[in-house]
Every structure is written in C-alpha cells, then in structure tokens.
Structure 1
C-alpha cells in the first residue's frame, strides 16, 4: 500500500452490526480521492466485533485492526489508533455509525481552504439525531464548557474530527480527552474550526454512555482542563 495521506481512526466497542457498513461507507467516500488507511481499534468488545473486523480485513486492503487486551475507553482507543496511524493527518469517526463518512471530504476541503494555523476541524452536529434527553444534556454541557473553557466550539462531543497527527500526540493525554480536543489544541497555540456535518440515528446496538455517567465524569474533567489552560505557558523557540 502507498504511504497514506489520511488515516481514519475508528474506536469500536460492541458494534458488530455497525462496523461493516461503516467501513463500506468510508471506502465509498475516500477511494479514488487520496491514499488512505482505516485503523479500527477494538476496545476489548464483548460481542464478536473483533471477528467481524478480522473478516473485513481479509477483504479490504486499506483496513488495519488493533485490539485492546483490556477495555480501556474511547480516548485510549483513539490515542492508540493515532499512534499507530501512518498518515500526517487523521480523521476520527465513532464506531456506532452515527457519524457520516461522506463528511470526511468536506472536512478535508475545509482544511485545504483554512489558514495553516488551523490544526483541528471539529464536526458540528447542527441537527442531532439522539433522544431528547441526550440533546438537552448536551446543550447544557456545551454551555457550561464554553463558559469555563472559552473554546468557541459549539459541539465538542461530535466524533467526526480531522486533525494533524503530530499536534494531537503533543497534547496532554487523559481519559475522556477526546471530548476536549478543541480546547486542548487551542491551549497548544493552534486554531480550530467547526464544520457543520450530518448526524444519523443509531440503527443497531446501544449507546455506551448515560447522561448521569457523562455528567459525573464531565465535571471533574472540565475542572481539570480548565486548570491545564490556566497553567499553560507557551513561547516561540529559536535555534541559534
């Protein structure tokens, strides 16, 4: 395979019925556009997601499959996928099929039209296809996050993003960091851009998060990211 220009990282946990259609949609969106690879990271699924991915790998030369020995969470799955990625730019998609791979070319076009300082393009689900309770919880969470972090990002929870691999790997790592990528990238001195994207209803499987669970974890994470931003120090470096 040629050196890829783009790596598509997909964290997967108990998504046996979603991974094959999702991989097919990624191929349809990207084949013929650029050299790419797909890195699916199975987070120690309890169903047969891993055998399904293994069977797909035999048919799809662009597909690579990583497997966690123990369940480690979505942020760890994303980070391990990015570490294994061979391209300088990475797109991420949730494994549940709610993100639309057809939006990846839109993010690539927005990147190409943006200033060089833009290192992360975040999907913005203008029309959410989740339950009413989840949409209300997300609106409140976004308002609180925006007030504390000032990241000027309307939707940090959207799984579809495009970013420079080196910039991502330079960010501080912690569990649930994937929900704060715009603020962390801005903290590092770069610019981010929100791009409206499609959002779809889940057609198979069940959500892995509850509103209460996200709220309890989110408060602690939000305070931690706020502390990181407050303690941030940056300076230009010149070699003499």
Structure 2
C-alpha cells in the first residue's frame, strides 16, 4: 500500500438507518482488512440516523479499537466530515444505504491505486480513493448514495479515475433489464444470412 502513513486504509461509512446491518458490515470489513494484512481505521459518521444504529456503533466501539464514531448529525455531508477525520493514505467511501456491502473487490481496487489511479468507483457499492488528491472532489460532490457517486465522477474527472460496473437505478425492472442486456453487448453476434 502507499508508504509513509501509519494507517493504510480508512473506511468512511455514512450511517443512516441501518441498525440491523451496520454491526455485521463493520465486522466484515475489519475481518477483510485483517486478511489483507493492512492497517486500517473505520470512521462511522452519523448521516441522519433515526434508529438504533448509533447505539450499535457505541457498543461496537468498545470491541474494535479501529472504530471511531462521529455522533453529530451531518446529514448529506458525511463523506466530507469523515475524510476530515480519516488518517489513511487511501479512503473507502461507503454508505449503509448501499446493500449489501461486499468487500471482495476491495483488494483489487486498492491495487489499482498502487498502480497510479487516484480513485476507483465501484458503482453502486463504494468509492476507493487516495485521500488528499480526492478531497476537493469529495467536498464539491454533495448528495446521498447514487447522487453523490454521479457528482463525484463529474468532480473527479480531472483525476486518474477508473469506473467499474453499472450504476443501479433503484428501479427493479430497469436494473434487471440493464443486467440482462450487459452480457449481450460483449458478445459478437453473427449477422443472419439470407
């Protein structure tokens, strides 16, 4: 990973109403990072949570020394606040609204940063970025979930950016149609002969 920092990776997690999943998401991330052998921290930021998510985080904070919680509600600006708190050379910007949070492609995305990319957007999942070069783009990109993702892509257009996957629209039928069409675009179809 990027040399010169005590913490390799910071997860900035925007926490909204996710009391059922936030604990397992954070534990899964911690286990994945330990498996990769990286030093990490988790900065969980209150993004307008109205359920017991913060209570779950308070309990988890005692068990995981890598977890820090920003309890003050900064709805809509959680990534900016989290990046201000983060100390890692690389940051992962994720939200509890994107379900499920899968960490399998994370090692690959961090490898892309090592190869010279400034940011990798795993669409409809999370953003993996170098903290300092991407901070201005994150500060200008407002919104939640997919709106933030779109704005971040636009604001970071001057950086070495890699986009992976297709963005979910939120419409089940539209997402299904996109998923079914995607493999067809890659296959060369023979033209019919008459």
Relative to the length of structure 1, the TM-score reads 0.60
Q: Does 1:104 align with 2:106?
A: yes
Corresponding residue for residue 120 of structure 2 = 121
Residues in 1 aligned to 2:140 and 2:156: alpha-carbon distance in whole angstroms: 12
Aligned residue pairs total 159
Question: Where in structure 1 are there 5+ consecutive unaligned residues?
Answer: 125-157, 200-208, 212-240
**Consecutive aligned runs of 4 or more in structure 1 exceeding 3 Å deviation:** none
Residues 28, 174 of structure 1: alpha-carbon distance in 2 compared, 3 angstrom cutoff: closer
Q: 1:160 aligns with which of 91, 114, 126?
A: 126
Corresponding residue for residue 6 of structure 1 = 9
1:62-82 alpha-carbon deviations (Å, 9 max, x no partner): 11111234x522xx0111111
Q: Any conservation in 2 of the 1:29–1:105 contact (CA below 8 Å)?
A: no
Report the alpha carbon displacement of residue 43 of structure 1 after superposing the two structures with TM: 1.9
Corresponding residue for residue 173 of structure 1 = 140
Question: Where in structure 2 are there 5+ consecutive unaligned residues?
Answer: 172-194
Residues in 2 aligned to 1:174 and 1:92: alpha-carbon distance in whole angstroms: 12
1:119-141 alpha-carbon deviations (Å, 9 max, x no partner): 110104xxxxxxxxxxxxxxxxx
Relative to the length of structure 2, the TM-score reads 0.73
Q: 1:61 aligns with which of 60, 65, 76?
A: 65
Report the alpha carbon displacement of residue 60 of structure 1 after superposing the two structures with TM: 0.6
For 1:1-240, what aligned pairs fall within 5 Å after superposition?
Answer: 3-32=6-35, 33-69=37-73, 72-73=75-76, 76-96=77-97, 97-112=99-114, 114=115, 116=116, 118-124=117-123, 158-171=124-137, 173-176=140-143, 178-179=148-149, 180-186=151-157, 189-196=158-165
Indicate the RMSD between aligned Cα atoms, in angstroms. Answer: 2.5
Report the alpha carbon displacement of residue 196 of structure 1 after superposing the two structures with TM: 4.7
Residues in 2 aligned to 1:72 and 1:42: alpha-carbon distance in whole angstroms: 7
